[in-house]
């Protein structure tokens, strides 16, 4: 006798076993990705601060040369003051910086740009190793600093000096950032943050 087979019903949905395997794979992938995501975010914030600083330094130098005027890059975001002829006193690189210009033949300073860094444990710490709180760019592209003829500005985060980056500026107006974490552009090890 021949039996007639009934067509199988298509099951809709997942079995408990399939769901458990999928969840296990997802948890393993998340466990691998989350630490890498944190490092990616910290690197991005550090690199953004370095890129912003280098861009501001280059912009200040370009403005000084193009307009034949004194242009200052000042630590802090406190507005116009008297330090170095244009910068507000008590400025800190950790809070950001301002680009201030004094037009040719004028004694009045004007703020051209402000780059603020908000206070947080995830924001990089920016420090001038030599203690300079401003850089004055002259019309010929050279730089006057409060101390020394060159300065290293370090950008660090909670991971310390091994992953810090440095920006160097010298009296000739040469500006360079390190591409290797933990090193200055010349290859010297960053020793403090």
Instruction: Summarize pLDDT for 40-72 with one digit per residue, the tens.
Output: 888 999 999 999 999 999 999 999 999 888 899
Q: What is the mean pLDDT of residues 134-158?
A: 91
Q: What pLDDT, on the 0 to 100 scale, is given for residue 89?
A: 80
Pick the closest to residue 88 from 76, 96, 99 (CA basis).
Answer: 76
For 103-127, letters b (16+ CB in 10 Å) and e give: eeeeeebeebeebebeeeeebbbbb
* pLDDT band per the 50, 70, 90 thresholds, residue 122: low
- Is 0.85 topped by the overall pTM? no
Percent of residues, the chain, with pLDDT higher than 90: 49
| Segment among 12-16, 21-25, 85-89, 160-164 with least mean pLDDT | 85-89
Q: What is the sign, positive or negative, of the torsion defined by CA atoms of 48, 54, 59, 60? A: positive
Q: What is the mean pLDDT of residues 160-178?
A: 94
Distances 24 to 12, 15, 16, 29, 30 between C-alpha atoms, Å: 22, 14, 12, 9, 10
Order of all β-strands in the sheet with 175-177: 125-128, 150-156, 165-170, 175-177
Distances 159 to 46, 124, 138 between C-alpha atoms, Å: 11, 10, 37
Q: What is the mean pLDDT of residues 121-145?
A: 88
Beta-sheet strands, E only, within the chain? 70-75, 80-83, 87, 96-102, 110-116, 125-128, 134-137, 143-145, 150-156, 165-170, 175-177
CB 139 within 8 A of CB 80: no
* pLDDT band per the 50, 70, 90 thresholds, residue 124: confident
Q: What pLDDT, on the 0 to 100 scale, is given for residue 71?
A: 92
Q: What pLDDT, on the 0 to 100 scale, is given for residue 105?
A: 78
Q: What pLDDT, on the 0 to 100 scale, is given for residue 83?
A: 61
């Amino acid at each position: 006798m021949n039996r007639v087979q009934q067509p199988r019903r298509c099951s809709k949905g997942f079995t408990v076993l399939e769901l458990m395997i999928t969840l296990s794979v997802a948890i393993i992938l998340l466990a691998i990705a989350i630490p890498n995501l944190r490092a990616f975010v910290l690197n991005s914030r550090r690199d953004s601060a370095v890129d912003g600083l280098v861009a501001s330094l280059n912009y200040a130098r370009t403005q000084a040369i193009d307009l034949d005027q004194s242009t200052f890059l000042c630590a802090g975001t406190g507005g116009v003051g008297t330090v170095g002829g244009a910068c507000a006193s008590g400025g800190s690189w950790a809070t950001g910086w301002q680009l201030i210009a004094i037009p040719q033949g004028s004694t009045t300073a004007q703020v051209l740009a402000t780059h603020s860094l908000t206070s947080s444990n995830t924001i990089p710490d920016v420090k001038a190793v030599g203690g300079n709180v401003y850089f004055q760019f002259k019309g010929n592209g050279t730089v006057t600093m409060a101390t020394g003829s060159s300065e290293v500005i370090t950008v660090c985060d909670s991971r310390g000096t091994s992953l810090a980056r440095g920006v160097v500026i010298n009296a000739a107006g040469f500006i360079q950032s390190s591409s290797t974490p933990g090193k200055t552009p010349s290859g010297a090890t960053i020793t403090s943050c």
